[in-house]
Structure 1
Amino acid sequence: MPEDMTFLLQAVTWPLVLLVAWFLGERLNESAGIPRVSSYVAVGLVASLFNLPGVTESVPGLPFLANVALSLVLFELGYRIHLRWFRHNPWVLVLGLVESVLTFALVYFAAGWFELPVDTRLIIASLSVSASPAGIVRVANELRSTGQVTERVLHLCAINCMVAVLALKLVVGYWHLSTSGDMVQAVLGSVHVLVTSVAAGALLGVAMPALLRAQRIQARDVTLVFALAVLLLTTLSYGLKLSPLLAALTFGIVARERRVHLTNAQRGFGTAGDLLNIFMFVYIAALLDWRAVPAGLALGLTLMVVRTASKVLCNVAAARLSGSTERKGVLAGLALMPMSAFAILLLEQSRILGFAPARDVLAVMAFMMLVQELLGPLVTQRALHAAAETHVTQEP
């Protein structure tokens, strides 16, 4: 078959798979109440059996597109963060930090039971700290969920993501130092990336609101402007080898503090945001290697139990101190179960930037990633339902 025709068939595969994912997502959500993102992941997993990963590698630009999709979600998550809430209720911030550190430590030691190398254990522990903003925000938006548990989960998710990025970048720096002995490269691979990524996001978060006020842009155009700004930030981060995920989250937090208001109708960045979300979940599922799943069964089950227990127990222990109840603490901890979308893209980005152990770790964590991305959104959905914070209305 001619090379041009082969590329055309490979390129056409993606729109077809995305169309199937959308169709099944809508049907299963309507008939069985299954979160749409779980259906998207399921389609990606099935498609990976038919060599979609090979198609993924042959079509350029897909990792960048997936990072743009997740950056939009992280901007939205950051925009929903109230820094003043941390000042009025510092226990939520303390809870997020303590829970992140405890999860890292427990997962690190639990992974040691399986005689994994130290580097691999450090990477797994760093990724396990994170919760999936894509899965959590998407489910919360579908349910139109608002309330104490929802807000707490969103804030804890943001803290988890920031700590996970920090931990992984420090692990990357440690790896460069241990393999090459180059202190400069180690610093550039960790501290420089973290500081510069936050600075870039904060700078854009200050500049964009000022531009919006100066141009008197109408409310319906605010979403477009911020989508373009996130695209600019992601492209800049790729070019400078920064963290687009951390930069986008910082951008959203600072934009919120600068008093830029987005209406509920603008959440999710409209139809374009929906399309990118479908692509992202199918894409990350297609990166998982089914052949590695059986080998990681025992490891995955152990780490999932340890990770979930850490998040639930910390939320329960701090419930009264932070103005909540033990029941809501359990629900908040369970709602943080999704992790794979953020973790996989963070790991994939590190691999692209030359972090050699990243590909091996993805294989080791294949079963854990599969279960938590497939079933995690369902657990989040049920937890928010149990908290009685959902406000879904029947559309005409």
Structure 2
Amino acid sequence: MIPSDIAFLLQAIAWPLVLLLAWFLAEWLNERWQLPRVTSYVAVGLLASLINLPGLTPDIAGLPFLATVALSLVLFELGYRINLRWFRHNFWVLLLGVVESLATFGAVYWATSWFALPTDQRLIIAAVSMAASPAGVLRVAHELRSSGQATERVLHLCAINCLMAVLALKLVVGYWTLSTSGDFALAAFGSIHVVGTSIAVGAVLGMAIPWLLRLRNTHGHGVTVVFALAVLLLTTAAYGLKLSPLLAALTFGIVARERRVHLTSAQRDFGTAGDLLSVFLFVYIASLLTWTDVPTTLFMGLALILIRTAVKVFCNVAAARLSGISERKGLLTGLALTPMSAFAILLIEETRLYGFEPAVQVLAAMAGMMLLQELLGPIVTQRALMAARETHVTKE
């Protein structure tokens, strides 16, 4: 029996202690074995959740919002790296992203029929499986200082995958609302309205902020601070209006990039604050998994991961020559899109908070899949980018 004063102390310091441990372990494992830092963050979060450390609970008020802010910053940066002109010059990349997302949805939906899941849960799992995790992919790419043809393609396809996943999930929400209430107007409001308004809010901010920056002639560090505050504003507004902060942040980044206000390479990840939020994001995501659900869903998770990865690899290899790369780089691009957990889990959580009842059971059904994805996905991305010879990491 732990004395009450010690228990209170453990509850008070649980999150800072775990985050500090996650950072030190990540640095040590990265230096020793080149293990992606995000994998270490996840491992510490999973271990802390397993031993049920007092005070380490995802139910603390404000933590879901903070995690959404962290992921919104990543999505803004991902959107900021998207070059829409590239799609016009190489339409095959855009088409590949759409077709690959739809093929992933179809394959995963078909595969879930093997496990006797309700239709609502199958649709949600198929929708979120379309996405690749921008947090996992972007953090690994930055860690490796990766740049080149395959890296840019991975980032652009990741953005398309995320957009398609949000659209698909909102359509699933609309279908569920229509089937349960029979109210077509309510179903349309819950899907089309949310998607359209989220994109519109992100686009308006993407035009307004660069205009304000030019008006004040802001450069360097100030640009990063303004964009970070704008993402915080956008996330808060999206919560208040029950929109999708993730979709709004991605749109904000894409439009801001088109307005020609540039971040320097030194300002990627939003500096020290971005690094801190990244550690928190992956530890928090890991803490959401319930270990009692893992053993019963591990086999299903492994099967769905293999099918999802096979579809992405096949689509990228099949379209490689048409889109201007070799089959080998197409294979590596498909493998690099393996991570999905951070974006998928927060997308499900966002949907649950807005009253979508089937989302409550989905995270438990996907526990095995999320566990494997969180631990192994970043490693696959790292090895794929290394094999593409686009990394520029040197020993200090």
* Range of TM-score over shorter length: over 0.9
Equivalent residues of 2:173, 2:187 under 8 A apart? yes
Q: Corresponding residue for 1:163?
A: 164
CA positional deviation for 1:85: 0.2
Counterparts in 2 of 1:170-185, with a 5 A limit?
Answer: 170-185=171-186
Match of 1:28 in 2: 29
Any unmatched runs of 5+ in structure 1? none
Q: Tell me the distance in 1 between the aligned counterparts of 2:54 and 2:207.
A: 39
Is the 2:302–2:372 contact (alpha carbons within 8 Å) kept by the matching residues of 1? no
1:5-16 matches, cutoff 5 A: 9-16=10-17
Q: Which residue of 2 aligns with 1:190?
A: 191
**Counterpart in 2 of 1:264?**
265
- In structure 1, distance between residues paired with 2:65 and 2:340: 20
- 1:21 touches 1:40 (CA, 8 Å); kept in 2? yes
Please state if 1:73 is matched with 2:74. yes
- The amino acid across from 1:50 in the alignment is I
Letter in 1 for 2:91: P
**Equivalent residue, structure 2, for 1:350:** 351
- The count of residues paired between Structure 1 and Structure 2 equals 395
Q: What SS is found at the alignment partner of 2:218?
A: coil
Alignment check: 8 A CA contact 1:77 1:252 kept: yes
Q: Distance in 2 between matches of 1:346 and 1:58?
A: 17
Query: What is the match of residue 146 of structure 1?
Result: 147
CA distance in 1 between partners of 2:143 and 2:232 (Å)? 24
Name the Cα RMSD after superposition.
1.6
* Residues 152, 341 of structure 1: alpha-carbon distance in 2 compared, 3 angstrom cutoff: same
C-alpha displacement at 1:57, in angstroms?
4.3
The answer as to 2:243 corresponding to 1:242 is yes
Matched-pair identity in %: 72
1:238-387 mapped onto 2 (5 Å cutoff): 238-387=239-388
- Answer whether contact 1:52 1:286 (CA < 8 A) is retained: no
Distance across 1 between alignment mates of 2:234 and 2:10: 32
Residues 94, 21 of structure 1: CA spacing in aligned structure 2 closer, same or farther, 3 A cutoff?
same
Contact conserved, 1:107 with 1:124, CA < 8 A, in 2? yes
The code of the aligned residue for 1:284 comes to I
CA distance in 1, matches of 2:156, 2:5: 48
Matched residues in 1 for 2:353 and 2:55: separation? 17
Q: Which amino acid aligns with 1:226?
A: F
Asked whether the equivalents of residues 25 and 40 of structure 2 are also in contact (C-alpha less than 8 Å), the reply is yes
Kept after mapping to 2: 8 A contact 1:284/1:341: yes
Letter in 2 for 1:238: Y
Residues 100 and 163 of structure 1 are in contact (CA less than 8 Å); yes or no, is this contact kept in structure 2? yes
After TM superposition, give the deviation of residue 4 of structure 1 in Å: 10
Query: In the alignment, does 2:364 pair up with 1:393?
Result: no
C-alpha distance in 2, partners of 1:198/1:164? 14
1:151/1:179 Cα in 2 relative to 1: closer, same or farther (>3 Å)? same
Tell me by how many angstroms 1:54 deviates. Answer: 6.7
CA contact (8 A) 1:10 1:59 kept: no
- In the alignment, the residues of structure 2 paired with residue 40 and residue 220 of structure 1 have an alpha-carbon distance, to the nearest angstrom, of 27
* Superposed counterparts of 1:96-107, under 5 Å: 96-107=97-108
Deviation at 1:393, TM superposition (A): 2.3
* CA–CA distance in structure 1, aligned partners of residues 386 and 146 of structure 2: 9
Hey, what's the Cα distance between the residues in 1 that align with 2:281 and 2:17? 15
Task: Decide whether the 8 Å contact of 2:10 with 2:55 is kept in 1.
Answer: no
The corresponding residue for 1:217 is 218
SS of 1:321's partner is: helix
Q: For 1:56, what is the secondary structure of its paired residue?
A: coil
Q: How far did 1:10 drift?
A: 2.5
Distance 1:361 1:86 in 2: 34
* Alignment partners' CA distance in 2, 1:165 and 1:152: 20
CA separation in 2, counterparts of 1:233 and 1:36? 28
Residue by residue, what CA displacement relative to the aligned partner does 1:19-49 show, whole Å, maximum 9, x if unpaired?
0000000000011100000000000100111
Alignment partners' CA distance in 1, 2:303 and 2:10? 41
Q: Report the residue type matching 1:218 in the other structure.
A: H
Q: Hey, what does 1:48 align to over in structure 2?
A: 49
* Equivalent position amino acid for 1:134 in 2: A
* Partner Cα separation in structure 2 for residue 58 and residue 164 of structure 1: 26
Q: Which residue of 2 aligns with 1:133?
A: 134
Distance change >3 Å, CA 2–CA 197, structure 1 → 2: farther
Amino acid aligned to 2:232 = L
Q: CA deviation at 1:6?
A: 6.6
Mapped partners of 1:216, 1:27: distance in 2: 42
CA 1:67–1:2 in 2, change beyond 3 Å: closer, same or farther? farther
CA distance in 2 between partners of 1:7 and 1:311 (Å): 48
- Post-superposition CA distance 1:161-186 (Å, at most 9, x none): 00000000111111111122222321
Unaligned runs of 5+ in 2: none
Query: How far is 1:53 from its partner?
Result: 9.3
